[in-house]
Chains A and B, each alone.
Chain A
Amino acid sequence: MIWNEAKECMPRDEIRALQSSRLVKVVNRVYHNVPYYRKKMQEVGLEPGDIRGVEDLSKLPFTTYEDLNAAYPFGLAAVPPSELVRVHASSGTTGKPKIGVYTRRDIDIWAECVARCLTMAGITRDDIIQVGYGYGLFTGGLGAHYGAEYLGALVIPMSTGNTQKLIDMMIDCKVTAIACTPSYLLHVAEDIEKMGVLDKIHLKAAICGAEPWTDEMRDQMEKRLRIKAYDIYGLTEIFGPGVANDCEYHRGLHIWEDHFLPEIIDPSTLEQQPEGGDGELVITNLTKEGMPLIRYRTKDLTSLEYDKCECGRTMARIQRFRGRTDDMLIIRGVNVFPSQVEAALLTINGMTPHYMLVVDRVDNADTLEVQVEVADNIFTDEISSLEKLSKEVHDKLRQAIGLNAKVRLVEPGGLEHFDGKSKHVTDKRNLYK
């Protein structure tokens, strides 16, 4: 099923023409409405007239997290504040969160993008869908919610945190679709098996995103829950979930090129790669009004395929993600930077920057253990004080990254230090293959 055939199956030359005219418009808008962008363009001697189409894309300067941070919170907004209706945010590398602002029209376009993705997963207005993403600053909850409503499905806004209730309602309301992180869905599958209620559920499709996952995970959830599972991609800065989604042929994630202009660059030379080349995914917002980003570096490593898909769609496909150019971790769908953890730890009196994050997946749920060295000055002879220290570390991390971590105190020198620069992450999940 296809939601918007005119756009999703547009011939390649028409897509390019549409992108070119939209690119010219968005460049004009940011040049005239966003002093930050105007300055950036002037610094490289560019005027809006220099951009006549997609072929001129590589002349434009990139936008990075550092730009978002410098312009935080609303410095990149391209409309007056009265036009803005929503803010979402996710973790930044250091200091300020990555923020996205939306106009009413942005919310509508975003909802249509999500509706296209849901339709791709075979979901229609006759379906009952549970949204198991967190509602709040995170784009997952409200993004999936608005998209499903736009489609006309019946939405149950579960949010996160109560698996028992989710399963109960899944049975009672005869839920047919779910949107949540892939690791959470596997956790749900496990509980359904434990409760022995697999025969009472009516689930047929799952849209999973917010963290990378593997084909093995898809096989598992499809077999265990007797469903079809689809991968949805997005990022707060660009919109949120619904930027791209995979179809039943699983040949990559179709990116909605009428709204998002993708390109691949070599992250070291910053040169645009030829079609099919590997590198960092860079996205330009073509239609966003609130905060359109020009050549935003996603830091996700992948490639793009442009041939027509068996599903009939002509929109380019983002291939399997091969990693990131930075050290960002995605744990239970939450973006975590080691630098955030370090900053939080160092607010504790006497704490050294010797720590290790151990990320694993146990029974299909991500686990985060933070190992902290007990330096001389924080060691005490009383267990209760050491336990208080563990709790303080736990609470500070919860504040900083929004996750409950298991804190393990280790002996000084117990963590490996490499050339004075410690290696701070052990990720045992092996998500990028």
Chain B
Amino acid sequence: MYIKQVSVFLENENGRLDDALRILSEGNINILSVCIADTADYGVLRLILGESERGCKILKDAGMAARMDDVIAVVVENEVGSFGKVVKMIQDEGIGIRYIYGLSIPTDGAPIALKTDDQEKTVKVLERGNVKTLSPEDMQAF
């Protein structure tokens, strides 16, 4: 199932990441997972937050470019080759993977965030393959 991800546009300049994190901490928002995709000039900070909607709003209110998207949270079993199996399952259906990163939340197995060209179809494929996914409710526990 889907979970909410908040992404923030950051220029590659000293202190920009710090600003975003400070805004969240001042708003008492817990960061569950973090990933940065970077280029030479800028980066996109991708966050899984304790309170996504409120987190996104306070970032925007502070003048930052922020948005909320659905990503699929997959729990991969702690076994050699299991991650490859999941990726292959998706690729065999002809679905392109836009990005992927590890989630740092405590759970049995390795949680991974995933965004693809066709999210709905991906969820169906994963269900069919008995791959465990996390729901927003699951996230409340963290």
Q: Does chain A have a CB within 8 A of B128?
A: no
The distance from the CB of A107 to the nearest CB of chain B, in whole angstroms, is: 47
- Asked whether A47 is an interface residue with its Cβ less than 8 Å from the other chain, the reply is no
Q: Check if A386 sits within 8 Å of B44, measured CB to CB.
A: yes
Count, A-B residue pairs, CB within 8 A: 54
Which A residues are in CB contact (< 8 Å) with B103?
Answer: none
Contact yes or no, B63 A379, CB < 8 A: no
Per-position binary interface string of chain B over residues 8-44, scored 1 when its CB falls under 8 Å from any chain A CB and 0 otherwise: 0111000010000000000000000000010101101
Q: Of B7, B10, B60, B63, which one neighbours A381 at CB under 8 angstroms?
A: B7
Complex-state Cα separation, A381 to B42, whole angstroms: 12
- Complex: A84 Cα to B87 Cα, angstroms: 68
For residue A419, CB closer than 8 A to chain B, the reply is no
B11 touches A379 (CB 8 A): no
Interface string of A363-401 (1 = CB under 8 A from B): 000000000001110011111101100000000000000
Report the bound CA distance from A20 to B67 in whole Å: 69
Which B residues are in CB contact (< 8 Å) with A384? 98
Segment among A196-204, A280-288, A305-313, A405-413 that sits at the interface with chain B: A405-413
Give, as a whole number of angstroms, the nearest-CB distance from B71 to chain A: 9
A81 on the B face (CB < 8 A): no
Cα separation A380 to B7 with both chains bound (whole Å): 8
Q: At the interface, yes or no: A274 with Cβ under 8 Å from chain B?
A: no
User: What residue in chain A is nearest B60 (Cβ atoms)?
Assistant: A376
Contacts of A374 in B (CB 8 A): 9, 42, 65
Chain A positions within 8 Å of B114 at CB level: none
A95 adjacent to chain B (CB < 8 Å): no
Q: Say which residue of B5, B41, B60, B115 sits within 8 Å of A409 (CB atoms).
A: B41
Chain B residue at minimum C-beta to C-beta distance from A375: B65
Chain A residues within 8 Å of B98, by CB: 382, 384
Interface size class, chain B: 20 to 34
When distances are taken between beta carbons in the complex, the residues of chain B under 8 Å from A35 are none
Q: Which residue of A lies closest to B62 (CB)?
A: A413
User: Could you tell me the distance between the alpha carbons of A381 and B9 in the complex, rounded to whole angstroms?
Assistant: 8
Across the interface, do A376 and B11 meet the contact criterion of CB distance under 8 Å? Answer: no
**B residues within 8 A CB of A410?**
11, 42
- Given A383-B44, A386-B42, A409-B41, A414-B11 contact (CB < 8 Å): yes
* Chain A hits for B11, CB < 8 A: 409-411, 414
20 contacts between A and B (CB under 8 A): A374-B9, A374-B42, A374-B65, A376-B66, A379-B9, A379-B66, A380-B7, A380-B67, A381-B69, A382-B98, A383-B37, A383-B39, A384-B98, A387-B39, A409-B11, A409-B41, A411-B9, A411-B11, A412-B63, A412-B65
Spell out A's residues near B (CB within 8 Å). 374-376, 379-384, 386-387, 408-414
Q: Write the residues of chain B forming the contact surface with A, with a CB cutoff of 8 angstroms.
A: 5, 7, 9-11, 16, 37, 39, 41-42, 44, 46, 60, 63-67, 69, 98-99, 115
19 more contacts with CB within 8 A, not counting A376-B66, A386-B9, A412-B63, are A374-B42, A376-B60, A379-B9, A379-B66, A381-B5, A381-B7, A381-B67, A381-B69, A381-B115, A383-B37, A383-B39, A386-B42, A410-B11, A411-B9, A411-B10, A411-B65, A412-B65, A413-B63, A414-B11
Counting from the closest, the 9 A-B pairs by CB-CB distance are A381-B7, A379-B65, A413-B63, A374-B65, A374-B9, A383-B37, A381-B69, A379-B9, A412-B65
